[in-house]
Chain A
């Protein structure tokens, strides 16, 4: 090999080596950037999750407040004293005013639900559909 050819060959192998290093560096930088991007995305997603959590918390609080208002409004003491007597002039029904429906009394329904047997709401619905099953209310 001539002297010139040898130099050209050395230059070529040098350039190839440099190219390899450059590619390696590029890959390294890309990986580093990917890692940073991933990390940033992770942090951003974390913020988004936190925001959603706060949003859920906000609605939960709203729900709690509304439940509380609802329960206060349904307080039988309030209904009896404020609505039934003062505002609307309602009175408790006397004997003959009461019309008894032939379905299980509330306590019986509740008891059946507790025992886990077929009954409760299902029994009531089945009775209302005409399926029978539940007899007249009795303590």
Chain B
């Protein structure tokens, strides 16, 4: 019994020791875990509380994706929907100079791929202490592929939108161009910037470690609003005809510059508008700034004899004269005060019709004197001279028309034949379009419609009457007189068309020298006319600046009118007015 009791006490003692040992071990493990958890909690506290802001910022920088989505700049189309200005996505090459160990090696590799830069240019860009520098912007796909194939360190690509003009130099003065950031600088690109630009969108999301967007985490997505498309009244085929013939004419007669406008007289729609010299809006900086000027609306010149149509139309409208009235043209020299007015050829008695046909200065002045200065002034105003036509192009000037009270005693002898007044080519074309349209002056316009990207019309332009310049009868009578200009007896037989009737007027005006006197060597030769004369499809105004040695409008500008009118009327499929036999007879003469 005692033995059993003694064994029990020994067992109890061993059990106690063992129990203590277990407790110790448990405690150790517990303490170890507690320490681990304490460390983890400490770390968690450090990360979540102490370094919260810093780590949050770092995480957001790495994973947050805020993207500005550029809108598509609106396209510009001609009246038949042919694109004149498009926006296409292109790659731009950039470098992170800080990441480039050997700028020389990278520059050597890139110089063969980026033709616009020399080795020195590239090396300078790559050696900058900068985090970002452009190497070449908006490069073509071939260049981009070649650069991409090099896999240069620190060289990357960014997609940008480039404005391109697929028609090249055609209509460049109307279209204008944009800067590197696609902001309109000239022409319609500038004028319609608000319509064309659109509104940028943006997107806020997160990206994974490969840089891919995690779409379910996309927080905000505001799509861009694309710019509106613009449809013009210009027909690129007619524009090409006008530009090619103008260029030929300017080169043939060694003109310093030239302008041409083709209008639809019934609506006022501009079918073509061109200037020479011209430029390529795809590379505007390659051309002189002078070449980029839209002379048709910005340059003012004295119209010379073309202005006689305004004088005679007003006189006919005011019933001051009739076509049959006879005026003595002083045999070529007419003294007014201390000045003597001359005609190119001396004439005796001429009817109003003959005055227009032969372009007699003295005759035109006598018609104006018979009518009176005030009536003449009001007539000129009704034709829209002295103020801009309101065409939707930037930089249009209003020309020069002095108020009646500022007219001198000689003004009545100068203005009727196109001196002392300044006009733009567009104003002159618009005035003659009014005569072609039965006296109704239409407002010239070039934007036909503005549409959104889905093709919905936002705004459209319909023909609008600006004013009644002259009565229908006066316009019809003047057309009869103007029909004589493009004949053997008139001043512009070279404007006559084989198959169609032509009404027009020549003009040869002296330019003013810097000393304020009329030049004897610098002229503007012009011709404005329409065809078919009784139901006109087009009004064409041609002006050559400083042609030489020949400078008469009937010689330098009329042939351009003829070529353009002939081709445009065929393009419009206007049925010929003359039969084959009539054409043969005319050609024999």
Contact = CB atoms under 8 A, between A and B. Distances in A.
A105 B80 contact: no
Contact of B573 (A39, A96, A100): A100
A91 interface: no
A93 B570 contact: yes
Nearest to B170: A77
A32 interface: no
A76 B499 contact: no
B570 A96 contact: no
Given A49-B215, A137-B575, A139-B572, A75 B141 contact: no
Nearest to A74: B82
A75 B168 contact: yes
B89 interface: yes
B166 interface: yes
B83 interface: yes
A50 B170 contact: no
B223 interface: no
A66 to B, nearest CB: 10
A68 B168 CA distance: 11
Contacts of A136: 575
Nearest to A50: B213
B170 A75 contact: yes
Contacts of B169: 77
B216 A42 contact: yes
A68 B166 contact: yes
Interface string B235-251: 11100100110000000
A77 B236 CA distance: 9
A56 interface: no
B28 to A, nearest CB: 32
A71 B83 contact: yes
B339 interface: no
A61 interface: yes
A110 B237 CA distance: 15
Contacts of B244: 77, 80
A89 interface: no
A139 B535 contact: yes
Contacts of B79: 110
Could you tell me the dominant secondary structure of chain A's interface residues? helix
Interface size bracket, B side: 35 or more
Contacts of B572: 105-107, 137, 139
Interface string A82-119: 00000000001101101011000111001000100000
A92 B567 contact: yes
B576 interface: yes
A68 B240 CA distance: 19
B300 interface: no
A64 B574 contact: no
B243 A105 contact: no
Contacts of A92: 567
Contacts of B536: 139
B49 to A, nearest CB: 27
Contact of B141 (A65, A100, A139): A65
A121 interface: no
Contact of A77 (B86, B141, B167, B573): B167
Contact of A110 (B80, B86, B215, B583): B80
Interface in A11-63: 39, 42-43, 45-47, 49-50, 61
B214 A137 contact: no
A116 B236 CA distance: 23
Contact of B88 (A65, A78, A139): A65
Nearest to A49: B215
Interface string B181-197: 00000000000000000
Contact of B166 (A42, A71, A96, A137): A71
A42 B213 CA distance: 12
Contact of A46 (B216, B571, B573, B575): B216
A71 B214 contact: no
Contacts of B213: 46, 50
A107 B166 CA distance: 23
Interface-central residue, B86, B567, B575, by most chain A CB under 10 Å? B575
A139 B80 CA distance: 17
B575 A100 contact: yes
A65 B580 CA distance: 48
Interface in B458-475: none
B136 to A, nearest CB: 18
Contact of A71 (B167, B235, B448, B573): B167
A68 B164 CA distance: 8
Contacts of B215: 42-43, 45-47, 49-50
Contacts of A47: 212, 215
B537 interface: yes
Nearest to B166: A71
Nearest to A75: B167
A72 interface: yes
Interface in B503-552: 532, 535-537
A29 to B, nearest CB: 22
B89 A106 contact: no
Given A64-B88, A67-B86, 5 more contacts: A46-B216, A77-B244, A100-B573, A107-B235, A139-B572
Among all A-B residue pairs, the 7 with the closest Cβ atoms:
A46-B215, A71-B166, A139-B537, A76-B240, A105-B573, A137-B573, A64-B88
Interface of A: 39, 42-43, 45-47, 49-50, 61, 64-65, 67-68, 71-72, 74-78, 80, 92-93, 95-96, 98, 100-101, 105-107, 110, 114, 136-139
12 contacts: A64-B86, A65-B141, A75-B167, A76-B237, A76-B240, A77-B168, A77-B244, A93-B570, A105-B573, A106-B571, A137-B575, A139-B572
